[in-house]
Amino acid sequence: MRLTNREIQRFLERYPIEIQEIFLGVRDCIFAAVPEAWERPKMGGLAYYLTEDSTPLKGMICHLVPKSDEVEIGFIFGAFLPDPCGWLVGSQKAKRRLHLTDYDAVDWDYLVGLMRASAEMDPSKFF
């Protein structure tokens, strides 16, 4: 289930237009990769899941957080995602983040690939 356009507008209205554009571009990538994804508010951002009853440890695609100068994408099991471009950063055991600051610098096809890989990941193999 997606939030309505009005809910998204309300959620993003306090951020600079450049951040809103990046956020909406990433959101489009998520739904391009997983059209049936579930979207819900979580921890100051929006979280995307495979199903309505998914949890952060099972079925979470990513967590998307707008900030004043960037959009942060968090992947719970990002350390295990294929990332030949080296976009994902972080020192935690499994979680990795991606920080986007410039819409035109984003390789949108690469980002769709990360979203697909995250959606296809089976976290049970890591435990």
Task: Quote the CA–CA distance of 92 and 104 in Å, as a whole number.
Answer: 29
Question: What are the CA-CA distances from residue 87 to residues 1, 72, 96, 98, 124 (Å)?
Answer: 28, 12, 9, 6, 24
Place of tokens 């508010």: 41
* pLDDT score for 21: 98
* pLDDT score for 32: 96
User: What is the pLDDT tens value at each position of the chain, 127 positions in all?
Assistant: 899 999 999 999 999 999 999 999 999 999 999 999 999 999 889 999 999 888 777 889 999 999 999 999 999 999 999 999 999 999 999 999 999 999 999 999 999 999 999 999 987 776 6
